[in-house]
């Protein structure tokens, strides 16, 4: 359904301050002279008002005129996210601030929040000094922090919706929201795992909960949603989940990851896939493991993309290999798309799982070499 | 100086000698101990190194080691260069591992702390243990199950690599049969064999995917005259009539592919048939000794053919007992498998016992992992197995559950060579 344009535009000012993944210091140096670059996003198009800009801070104003929730990205080569806004509901608008050095980029809208999105080339010209080696590493962590910020923002929003559905005993809606809210969690799981106590409370599976600790979090509610179908007594658990997510979001945004942690995180996400998602252990009641699988891969890709300028300089052959293998994983996964989501784990054959496992192994081996390249002096 | 730097420095020094140099030195009694930097050479032959390069691949007439880890791979890349690149990497790793060194140049503990080691480490401190790595190409490498000639090799497929026929009684599980490539790692220490396969599988990720693998122990055949004939899990000596390394003429006639047999790339190679044969242990164990001996056609103790005294006496198929019946039953294993009943067919058997734990009914999941090398399976394994499958009394106690057929190319000539180099050079 379409929201009248007037209403949509009104929303810009309200929401732009909220979840926008902004680039930080607005130095204004060489920034776009003509104000925000308008982006009209529909279900089938992504019209960016200009295809070039000056180096410096640029502002995009995205309006979702489609019927699906959308996202907007600016990518550097290798799908390195320079900035993104997630979760733009139909009819709403958002502003996004991004610091762009001279270079070639791509803009992308993702109606339905899936896939490669609708892309266009975007060129930034003007002077920006080449980064030193250390500056490239610092840039990598800053870039990944932007990613974490955008993901945690969406995680919070979607968890609020999920919790509200559970508390309202809306089982069907809660089931629909379960894999979607988890997507944002799974993309940044290595960050979440830094905070030892919170991770098991939010994402612990029944058998790994320590003795004396209650079984709480996403998987507890999953069990009730798909098992008994009765979540009428899960209000306190849902409240606790939201409180825990809020806490971890605050902590994650305060945490500054080192380049080495990024590299290890990229690998850890694939280990998550290899051990938990391929086997169907993670979402054993809902069987929505492929949502998590895809999110883990996206998160891994984001971490590698942040490191890309450093890797390009130190080991271009490795970057090429990683690009190839990420593409192979995406192609293997794409066979199991179903509508806006994925097939259930129970709908996959043993041969399907083997092919996915092979693709993950082929990617994880070269990814395991990234840390040493990054830490090289 | 640390142990690590010592061993690494030594690795460089040894590399200078060349692969054959290391192997040759080790073969006369010394053994290189990997990783930990030990310099004492061990005199134990079982611990020594087998030369990796040569006219034929090692692991065929090499005195049969005690253990095997056998693995069949599917090739998952469509890129021929990636496949040959991996075979090259495998050859380098196998040359190092068979010499008792780590799989990679850096080693299990020699690298930077942030990098995963290029050797998995479980063989640190272990001698070469007679490790051999033997590689073969399955029919599906030349044309896959869907009929596709993925690597431009279809025209180079030897006629001898014809799919095996279905034999009566076959209970083959496709999931543990076939494969585009195989690697047979044999060693006198199971940890060394497993280490070799594990590291090769890791190197191959993205290019190949493990289809199935099998561990075996207690070699069930002797491949030289010095080795005593071992026993299979039926308790009988197995492989008395096996081709032996010393029988040069017979090896030429029955084992090694000769010039003119088929495409040149296989000359000096050999064809491998693998069969995982489940033995129904419990029912065999409660059958009377006389029945067991009648089925096999040999004495359980000495291994002598029935009616003869010594293990190596030739069986007398014409001999008749007091009851007028042949001493060696027409359905006995020794008669049906004998060259004289199969147009002279001979193979070099190199099988191993296996026990994969127990099945859900509490029965031993055990049997014989049969491996046999030959010049041409169409005149080797196929007629013998036809004869056995049709009439062998032993079939009551056997189930063939896995089958594989592989063309094992000739040996590698040196550091620039790899398995199938001559084959891939002609690919279209």
Residues A193 and A114 in one domain: no
User: Nearest CA to B181 among B414, B352, B278, B203?
Assistant: B203
DSSP state of B327: S
Average pLDDT of span B39-57: 76
Residues A357 and A241 in one domain: yes
pLDDT for the residue B6: 32
pLDDT for the residue B221: 78
On the question of pLDDT at A134 being above 80, the answer is no
User: What does the alpha-carbon distance between residue B126 and residue B42 come to, in Å, rounded to a whole number?
Assistant: 11
Q: Taking CB atoms and an 8 Å cutoff, what residues of chain B touch A328?
A: 206
Q: Taking CB atoms and an 8 Å cutoff, what residues of chain A touch B205?
A: 358, 361-362, 364-365
C-beta atoms surrounding B48 within 10 Å:
25
pLDDT for the residue B32: 54
Average pLDDT of span B164-187: 97
Residues 6+ apart with CB under 8 A from B81: none
Residue A45 domain-assigned (yes or no): yes
Residues 6+ apart with CB under 8 A from B231: B218, B220, B237, B238
Lowest mean pLDDT among A130-134, A263-267, A284-288: A130-134
User: What does the alpha-carbon distance between residue B270 and residue B267 come to, in Å, rounded to a whole number?
Assistant: 8
* Coil/strand/helix, residue A108: strand
The count of C-alpha atoms lying within 13 angstroms of the C-alpha of B350, restricted to the half-sphere facing its C-beta, is 33
Q: Taking CB atoms and an 8 Å cutoff, what residues of chain B touch A354?
A: 209
**Over the range B125-142, which residues count as b (16 or more CB within 10 Å of their CB) and which as e?**
ebbbbbbbbbbbbbbbbb
In what helix (H) or strand (E) does residue A123 lie, and over which residues does it extend? strand A118-125
Query: Where residue A178 sits, what CATH number does that domain have?
Result: 1.20.1420.20
User: Nearest CA to A303 among A363, A217, A254, A242?
Assistant: A363
Backbone angles phi, psi at B90, to 5 degrees: -60, -45
CA distances from A191 to A187, A274, B360 (A): 9, 18, 43
Pairing, β B208-219 against β B270-279: unpaired
Is B115 part of the contact surface with chain A (CB cutoff 8 Å)?
A: yes
**Angle of helix A289-314 versus helix A171-187 axis, rounded to 10:** 20
Residue A182 domain-assigned (yes or no): yes
Residue A355 domain-assigned (yes or no): yes
pLDDT tier for residue A129 given thresholds of 50, 70 and 90: low
pLDDT tier for residue A23 given thresholds of 50, 70 and 90: very low
Given an 8 Å threshold on Cβ–Cβ distance, is A365 in contact with B205?
yes
Predicted confidence (pLDDT) per residue in A303-319, tens digit: 999 999 999 999 999 99
Residues A158 and A284 in one domain: yes
- Those of residues 358-387 in B touching chain A at CB distance below 8 A are none
pLDDT tier for residue A6 given thresholds of 50, 70 and 90: very low
User: What does the alpha-carbon distance between residue B81 and residue B89 come to, in Å, rounded to a whole number?
Assistant: 12
* Coil/strand/helix, residue A14: helix
Token pair belonging to B132: 């051999």
pLDDT for the residue B219: 83
pLDDT for the residue B96: 97
Residues A29 and A98 in one domain: yes
pLDDT for the residue B273: 98
On the question of pLDDT at A92 being above 60, the answer is yes
pLDDT tier for residue A34 given thresholds of 50, 70 and 90: low
CA distances from B380 to B32, B164, B388, B392 (A): 38, 11, 13, 17
Spatial contact of A243 and A263, defined as CB atoms under 8 Å apart: no
Residues A176 and A297 in one domain: yes
CB pairs under 8 A between A and B: 36
The count of C-alpha atoms lying within 13 angstroms of the C-alpha of B297, restricted to the half-sphere facing its C-beta, is 24
Residue A141 domain-assigned (yes or no): no
Residues A112 and A207 in one domain: no
Q: What is the mean pLDDT of chain A?
A: 85
On the question of pLDDT at B8 being above 60, the answer is no
The residue to which tokens 């032993």 are assigned: B394
User: What does the alpha-carbon distance between residue B311 and residue B247 come to, in Å, rounded to a whole number?
Assistant: 18
Lowest mean pLDDT among A7-11, A213-217, B328-332: A7-11
User: What does the alpha-carbon distance between residue B23 and residue B53 come to, in Å, rounded to a whole number?
Assistant: 9
Predicted confidence (pLDDT) per residue in B104-159, tens digit: 999 999 888 888 999 999 999 999 999 999 999 999 999 999 999 999 999 999 99
Residues A15 and A99 in one domain: yes
pLDDT for the residue A133: 67
* Coil/strand/helix, residue A72: strand
* Coil/strand/helix, residue A194: coil
Distance from CA of B116 to the nearest CA of A (A): 7
pLDDT for the residue B286: 96
Given an 8 Å threshold on Cβ–Cβ distance, is B111 in contact with A374?
no
Candidate from B76, B111, B114 with C-beta closest to A358: B76
* Coil/strand/helix, residue B67: strand
Distance from CA of A46 to the nearest CA of B (A): 35
- Those of residues 45-84 in B touching chain A at CB distance below 8 A are 76
Query: Where residue A85 sits, what CATH number does that domain have?
Result: 2.60.40.420
Q: What is the mean pLDDT of chain B?
A: 89
Residue A284 domain-assigned (yes or no): yes
Q: Taking CB atoms and an 8 Å cutoff, what residues of chain B touch A365?
A: 202, 205-206
Candidate from B115, B207, B209 with C-beta closest to A354: B209
On the question of pLDDT at B209 being above 50, the answer is yes
Radius of gyration of chain A measured on its C-alpha atoms: 20
Question: What does the DSSP assignment read for B253-282?
Answer: HHTSPPTTSS-GGGTT-EEEEEEEEEE-HH
High-pLDDT (> 90) share of chain B, %: 82
Q: Taking CB atoms and an 8 Å cutoff, what residues of chain A touch B112?
A: 372, 375-376
Q: Check residues B176 and A76 and name the one with the higher pLDDT.
A: B176
Distance from CA of A326 to the nearest CA of B (A): 11
Query: Can you list the alpha helix ranges (DSSP code H) found in B132-239?
Result: 139-142, 190-203
Given an 8 Å threshold on Cβ–Cβ distance, is A363 in contact with B206?
yes
Q: Look up the pTM and report it.
A: 0.80
User: What does the alpha-carbon distance between residue A93 and residue B205 come to, in Å, rounded to a whole number?
Assistant: 45
Residues A365 and A281 in one domain: yes
C-beta atoms surrounding A303 within 10 Å:
31
Spatial contact of A223 and A209, defined as CB atoms under 8 Å apart: no
User: What does the alpha-carbon distance between residue A270 and residue A279 come to, in Å, rounded to a whole number?
Assistant: 13
On the question of pLDDT at A337 being above 90, the answer is yes
On the question of pLDDT at A142 being above 80, the answer is yes
The residue to which tokens 């693709």 are assigned: A359
pLDDT for the residue A206: 86
C-beta atoms surrounding B354 within 10 Å:
23
* Coil/strand/helix, residue B399: strand
pLDDT tier for residue A59 given thresholds of 50, 70 and 90: confident
Chain A CA closest to residue B175: A351
Domain limits for position A259: 151-375
pLDDT for the residue B299: 96
Predicted confidence (pLDDT) per residue in A144-168, tens digit: 988 999 899 999 999 999 999 999 9
The domain total for chain A is: 2
* Coil/strand/helix, residue B93: helix
C-beta atoms surrounding A317 within 10 Å:
8
Residue A228 domain-assigned (yes or no): yes
Residues A79 and A37 in one domain: yes
Q: What ipTM describes this predicted complex? A: 0.80
Residues A175 and A50 in one domain: no
Residue A249 domain-assigned (yes or no): yes
Distance from CA of B115 to the nearest CA of A (A): 5
pLDDT for the residue A3: 35
Is A123 part of the contact surface with chain B (CB cutoff 8 Å)?
A: no
pLDDT for the residue A33: 52
On the question of pLDDT at A362 being above 90, the answer is yes
Is B174 part of the contact surface with chain A (CB cutoff 8 Å)?
A: no
pLDDT for the residue B44: 55
High-pLDDT (> 70) share of chain A, %: 89
Residues A120 and A254 in one domain: no
Predicted confidence (pLDDT) per residue in B256-304, tens digit: 999 999 999 999 999 999 999 999 999 999 999 999 999 999 999 999 9
Is B112 part of the contact surface with chain A (CB cutoff 8 Å)?
A: yes
Residue A270 domain-assigned (yes or no): yes
Average pLDDT of span B315-336: 93
**Over the range A12-39, which residues count as b (16 or more CB within 10 Å of their CB) and which as e?**
beebbeebbbbbeeeeeebbbeeebbeb
Work out the burial of residue B348: count CB atoms within 10 Å of its CB; fewer than 13 is exposed, 13-18 middle, 19 or more buried.
buried
User: Any bridge partners for residue B135, and if so which?
Assistant: B183
* Coil/strand/helix, residue A85: strand
């Amino acid at each position: 359904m379409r929201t009248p344009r007037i209403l949509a535009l009104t929303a810009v000012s309200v929401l732009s301050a909220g979840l926008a993944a902004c680039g930080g210091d607005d130095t204004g140096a060489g920034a776009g002279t003509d104000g925000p670059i308008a982006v009209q996003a529909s279900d089938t198009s992504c019209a960016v008002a200009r295809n070039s800009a000056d180096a410096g801070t640029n502002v995009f104003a995205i309006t979702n005129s489609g019927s699906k929730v959308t996202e907007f990205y600016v990518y550097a080569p290798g799908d390195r996210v320079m900035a993104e806004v997630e979760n733009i509901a139909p009819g709403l608008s958002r502003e996004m601030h991004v610091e762009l050095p001279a270079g070639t980029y791509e803009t992308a809208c993702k109606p339905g929040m899936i896939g490669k999105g609708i892309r266009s080339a975007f060129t930034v010209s003007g002077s920006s000094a080449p980064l030193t080696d250390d500056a490239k590493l610092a840039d990598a962590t800053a870039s990944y922090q932007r990613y974490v910020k955008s993901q945690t923002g969406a995680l919070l929003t979607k968890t609020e919706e999920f919790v509200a559905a559970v508390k309202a005993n809306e089982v069907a809606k809660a089931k629909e929201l379960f894999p979607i809210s988890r997507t944002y969690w799974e993309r940044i799981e290595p960050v979440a795992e830094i905070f030892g106590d919170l991770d098991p409370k939010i994402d612990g599976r029944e058998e790994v909960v320590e003795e004396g600790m209650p079984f709480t979090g996403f998987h507890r509610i999953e069990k009730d949603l798909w098992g008994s179908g009765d979540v009428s007594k899960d209000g306190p658990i849902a409240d606790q989940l939201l409180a825990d997510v809020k806490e971890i979001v605050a902590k994650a945004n305060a945490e500054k990851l080192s380049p080495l942690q990024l590299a290890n995180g990229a690998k850890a996400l694939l280990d998550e896939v290899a051990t938990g998602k391929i086997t169907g252990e993670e979402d054993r009641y809902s069987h929505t493991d492929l949502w998590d699988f895809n999110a883990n891969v996206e998160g891994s890709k984001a971490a590698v993309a942040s490191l890309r300028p450093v890797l390009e300089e130190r080991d271009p052959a490795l970057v090429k290999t990683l690009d190839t293998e990420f593409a192979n994983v995406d192609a293997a996964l794409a066979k199991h798309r179903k509508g806006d989501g994925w097939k259930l784990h129970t709908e996959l054959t043993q041969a399907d799982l083997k092919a996915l496992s092979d693709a993950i192994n082929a990617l994880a081996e070269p990814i395991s070499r990234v840390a040493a390249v990054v830490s090289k002096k | 100086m640390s142990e690590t730097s010592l061993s690494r420095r030594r690795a460089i020094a040894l590399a200078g000698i060349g692969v054959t140099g290391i192997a040759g030195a080790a073969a006369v009694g010394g053994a290189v101990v990997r990783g930990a930097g030990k310099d004492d050479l061990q005199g134990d032959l079982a611990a020594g190194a087998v030369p990796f390069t040569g006219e034929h691949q090692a692991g065929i007439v090499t005195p049969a080691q005690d253990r095997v880890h056998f693995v069949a791979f599917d090739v998952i890349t469509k890129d021929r260069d990636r496949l040959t690149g991996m075979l090259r990497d495998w050859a380098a790793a196998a040359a190092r591992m068979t010499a008792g060194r780590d799989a990679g140049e850096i080693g299990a503990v020699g690298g930077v702390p942030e990098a995963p080691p290029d050797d998995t480490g479980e063989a640190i401190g272990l001698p070469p243990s007679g490790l051999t790595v033997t590689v073969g190409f399955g029919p599906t490498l030349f044309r896959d199950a869907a009929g596709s000639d993925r690597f431009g090799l279809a025209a180079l497929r030897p006629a001898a690599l014809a799919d095996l026929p279905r034999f009566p009684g076959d209970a083959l599980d496709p999931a543990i049969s076939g494969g585009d490539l195989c690697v047979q790692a044999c060693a006198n220490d199971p940890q060394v064999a497993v280490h070799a396969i594990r590291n090769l599988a890791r190197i191959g990720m993205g290019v190949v995917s493990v289809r199935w693998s099998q561990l075996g122990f207690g070699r069930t055949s002797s491949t030289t005259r010095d080795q005593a004939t071992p026993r299979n899990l039926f308790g009988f000596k197995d492989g008395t009539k096996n081709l032996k390394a010393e029988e040069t003429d017979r090896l030429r006639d029955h084992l090694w592919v000769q010039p003119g047999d088929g495409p040149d790339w296989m000359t000096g190679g050999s064809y491998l048939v693998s069969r995982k044969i489940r033995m129904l242990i419990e029912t065999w164990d409660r059958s009377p000794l006389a029945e067991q001996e009648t089925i096999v056609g040999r004495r359980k103790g000495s291994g002598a053919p029935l009616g003869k005294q010594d293990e190596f006496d030739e069986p007398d198929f014409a001999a008749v007992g007091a009851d007028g019946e042949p001493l060696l039953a027409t359905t006995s294993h020794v008669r049906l498998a004998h060259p004289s009943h199969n147009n002279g067919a001979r193979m070099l058997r190199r099988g191993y016992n296996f026990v994969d734990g127990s099945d859900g009914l509490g029965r031993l999941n055990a049997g014989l992992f049969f491996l046999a090398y030959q010049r041409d399976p169409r005149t080797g394994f196929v007629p013998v197995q036809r004869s056995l499958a049709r009439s062998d009394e032993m079939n009551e106690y056997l189930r063939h559950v896995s089958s594989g057929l592989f063309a094992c190319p000739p040996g590698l000539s040196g550091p620039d060579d790899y398995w199938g180099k001559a084959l891939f050079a002609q690919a279209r």
